[in-house]
Each structure stands twice: as C-alpha cells, then as structure tokens.
Amino acid sequence: MKNYIQPGENVTVAASSGVVSGAGHKVGSLFGIASVTALVGEDVTLTREGVYSVAKVSAQAWAVGAKIYWDDTAKLFTTTATSNTLVGCAHGVAANPSAEGEVLLTGQV
C-alpha cells in the first residue's frame, strides 16, 4: 500500500513546550509519553499506547478501569474530566494521597 506511513504507536513531533523523558505531553489533540527530554520546538517521540507509572493528582484515589485524563496546565494525570483530555484508564489502584498511579494509554485522543 503506497500511502502507508507508520504504525502510529510512536510518533515524532515538535514539542509544544519543554518536556522531560517519561512525562505526558500534548501537542494539539495528540497525546503520549515523551521518550526523551526536549525543549520547545525540538523533535520528541511520543509513545501513545501502553501501561505507564505516571505523576498524578495526589489527592485522588484511582480504581482499576477509572477514566484517566491529562491536565495540560498542571501536567498531571487526573480523574477530573472538566477541561482535561481523556487519555486512557487506570491500570492499577492508586491511593489518596499518592504521587503516582498506573495508566493504560489507549492512543485514541
């Protein structure tokens, strides 16, 4: 097929802001986990699918399967839908308080 480009699990884009390796990053409607640290405008490969241990809103408890959103202002994962982007679901239980949780990214942003 001559119009095929790539599978899409990993995509390289220009960073919309500074990002560190392993952090969530949103460029327009595209979301993924940064594979490298990059400054704004530099190329960064985003992994859009898989299970990751991520920084979350500490004062939230997560249940397995709960919808997880990306808060692009706080740069944290959250269960709060308002003004945030749905990125996947909780893969494990996370206590309140706790700084990290496990998220399954679905790649469907």
Q: Where are the domains of the chain?
A: 10-106
Question: pLDDT tens across 32-77, in order?
Answer: 999 999 999 999 999 999 999 999 999 999 999 999 999 999 999 9
For the cut 90, the answer to whether the pLDDT of residue 107 exceeds it is: no
In this structure, the strands spanning 43-47 and 10-14 are antiparallel
Q: What is the dihedral of CA 74, 104, 80, 84, to 10 degrees?
A: 60
Q: Report which residue type is found at 82.
A: T
Token digits for 85? 């982007």
Domain covering 10-106 assigned CATH 2.40.300 in the classification: yes
Q: Are 15 and 41 in contact (CB under 8 A)?
A: yes
Whether residue 109 has pLDDT greater than 80: no
Which residues lie below 8 Å from residue 43, measured CB to CB, with a gap of 6+?
A: 12, 13, 14, 15
Query: What is the rounded distance in angstroms from the CA atom of residue 73 to the CA atom of residue 96?
Result: 21
State yes or no: pLDDT of 108 exceeds 80.
Answer: no
